[in-house]
Chains A and B, each alone.
Chain A
């Protein structure tokens, strides 16, 4: 196996499920999200083979995934924007084995999460996936200060919800 193969395989195994789930949150159906995720790693492979220098693989992969996800949604138009993510939002359940307090807390956060704007949710989602602000900004195609604003507001709202 060449070093390139190793690198791509490694990134693929590390990130594919995360990328796939992120695409689901963009409103893609599971089969489409998986196709798009495969496409992301194909592009990664091609980019690396062309000798492109990629500073942060994870950031790169999410950025490409976001753009592909939006392309897909624009082309298909088979379902209203974000239908997928709205559908899954109805079904947020705390883990069954969690304690009472933890379940309550997770429920509060889930309720507040539903009230966030799609972009706030995306920022927060990518932050939880370990992306830095700079990478979130690149992935979503917005400025870093907008990312900061979105995150600040989103977290303030979740924080408030947890204390009500």
Chain B
């Protein structure tokens, strides 16, 4: 997906369940920051998710009967390995079971070494099952201290007085700024480390999980969990730079005294002041597009570029501050550019005039993907690879068509040769990646697709061809994701679309040379 399209239900669920890569998370969050509708959907999903957890704990599991006998410790097994016929013979007599139970009771009196992963996992399940919206935490860094709700909606505009430096420290560490004093945030940081060492200490009231690592900016982090309910009460991040960020929970009575925070009205959208700018024309527009292309900001991000009388207006909605900076930096040397970023509000992205990619239907199985999976024995999931390759192809097809619409043939003809070359080089970049993605789709699908013969397409100028490419790419995408049409018809359609795409890409490349 790209940030101009709405994430489908699956992507939102994967975000909530932390099943996305950092890059995918960034992209979805970027979209969410600009789209209240998707934020609502995510909130509803999280509610349901909590309901399901409570259902699991309070309804489903209690409905299952208790084990009929006492448990037998697995370590009471003879030491020589043996082949065990299943079901295992019940060998313990009642007396032996009693001994086992006694051993068990005695063991529980001794401190049992606890694994950090287990503790964190349990703590995570509990915090997911019982969120406390009134919980507040204090974060300390250097001589500053900041009290805030434990869980922040990072997607809301920042409040006045938010110490950006603390956010930056957390982010740098790979810690969630949304809910930093939580088992989830700690686990997420911890599981991102490829080398680490855990230590769990236990005193009468707490477990303290300490993880140290040679990687990243944080050399050691520790999380204190109350022994009774595994509730996280404090955490410390020790940076390699010898700085420290401390977090602890503000006791509930202090919260009562302080009272709920009055809602802070969101700040007015920031707009760059429009200084007197030198006149800009199509040549500057090419420069702007090329600069955005270099930083990958022409692939459906909510960035608009419009050439108005004398200026190139670049606007963006809901972009992360870092991305805004990157875009400003990329455009800094081009004369006549006005930049305006809005911090909130959904805006349609460049190319949004083109039809939006429909989300994959969530309610039907996809027999094509199933068949593909059945045909492969490899470890990598061909279904995943196919969907990724298709997404990449469609993304580039959209970018190509958008470029073609921006520089139609007559306008392109009026450009200086160097600028024209620049436009075509961008188009060729898109065509190359599109071509590689189509080849990947083709390789994955060879086994299940019928042969397709299509007449070689005729060239009509690259701008025209780009439109046809988009239509074919969308055709392939729909054939892969369609829920209703019968499988054979879809396969034929897919084979034809892919064959057509291959031919069109060849023509396009020739036209762009």
Q: Tell me the A residues contacting B by CB distance below 8 Å.
A: 1, 5-6, 8-10, 12-14, 16-17, 20-21, 24-25, 30-39, 41-42, 44-46, 49-50, 56-58, 68, 71-72, 75, 88, 91-95, 98, 102, 105-106, 109-110, 113, 124-125, 127-130, 132-133, 143-146, 148-149, 151-153, 155-156, 158-159, 162
Contact = CB atoms under 8 A, between A and B. Distances in A.
A155 B87 contact: no
B52 A128 contact: yes
A152 B56 CA distance: 17
17 contacts: A5-B75, A9-B112, A33-B67, A38-B72, A41-B74, A44-B74, A68-B86, A75-B86, A105-B51, A130-B125, A133-B14, A144-B384, A145-B369, A146-B373, A149-B366, A151-B17, A156-B9
Given A42-B74, A46-B81, A109-B51, A17 B67 contact: yes
A8 B71 CA distance: 14
Contact of B81 (A12, A21, A36, A50): A50
Nearest to B125: A130
B152 to A, nearest CB: 24
B488 interface: no
B5 to A, nearest CB: 17
A148 B381 contact: no
Interface in B83-125: 84, 86-88, 90, 104, 107, 112-115, 117-118, 121-122, 124-125
Contacts of A125: 56, 60
B454 interface: no
Contacts of A130: 121-122, 124-125
Given A128-B56, A143-B381, A145-B384, A158 B48 contact: yes
Given A8-B74, A9-B107, A133-B19, A32 B87 contact: yes
Contact of B121 (A44, A58, A133): A58
B32 to A, nearest CB: 17
B69 interface: yes
A60 B177 CA distance: 32
Nearest to B370: A146
A6 B64 CA distance: 29
Contact of B59 (A21, A110, A127): A110
A10 B54 contact: no
A90 to B, nearest CB: 9
A2 to B, nearest CB: 9
A17 B124 CA distance: 19
A109 B64 CA distance: 17
B87 A159 contact: no
B194 interface: no
Give the 3 A-B CB pairs with smallest separation, nearest first. A128-B56, A41-B74, A159-B48
A149 B72 CA distance: 38
Given A109-B51, A128-B53, A158-B51, 5 more contacts: A13-B104, A95-B59, A98-B58, A133-B17, A145-B369
A106 B58 CA distance: 9
Interface in B7-45: 9-10, 13-14, 17, 19, 44-45
A149 B487 CA distance: 19
A6 B112 contact: yes
Contacts of B274: none
Contact of A113 (B49, B55, B65, B90): B55
Contacts of A37: 67
B65 A24 contact: yes
A129 to B, nearest CB: 8
Interface in B251-303: none
Contacts of A94: 58-59
Given A9-B107, A130-B125, A133-B19, A145 B55 contact: no
Contacts of A113: 55, 60
A148 B366 CA distance: 13
B75 A9 contact: yes
B448 interface: no
B63 interface: yes
A61 to B, nearest CB: 11
A35 B84 CA distance: 12
B363 interface: yes
A30 B113 CA distance: 30
Contacts of B158: none
Nearest to B62: A95
Contacts of A56: 117
Nearest to A18: B61
A35 B88 contact: yes
B74 A38 contact: yes
Given A35-B87, A44-B74, A10 B115 contact: yes
Nearest to B86: A39
A149 B383 CA distance: 11
A6 B113 CA distance: 8
Contacts of B49: 155
B362 interface: yes
A92 B115 CA distance: 34
A65 to B, nearest CB: 12
A32 B60 CA distance: 20
B387 interface: yes
A91 B13 CA distance: 29
A94 to B, nearest CB: 6
Contacts of B67: 17, 20, 30, 33-34, 37
A14 B54 CA distance: 20
B383 A106 contact: no
Given A124-B52, A158-B52, A148 B19 contact: yes
Contacts of B74: 8-9, 12, 38, 41-42, 44-45
Contacts of B72: 38
Contacts of A149: 10, 362, 365-366
B73 interface: yes
B68 interface: yes
B381 A144 contact: yes
Q: Max chain B CB contacts within 10 Å: which of A1, A33, A94, A146?
A: A146
A110 B14 CA distance: 23
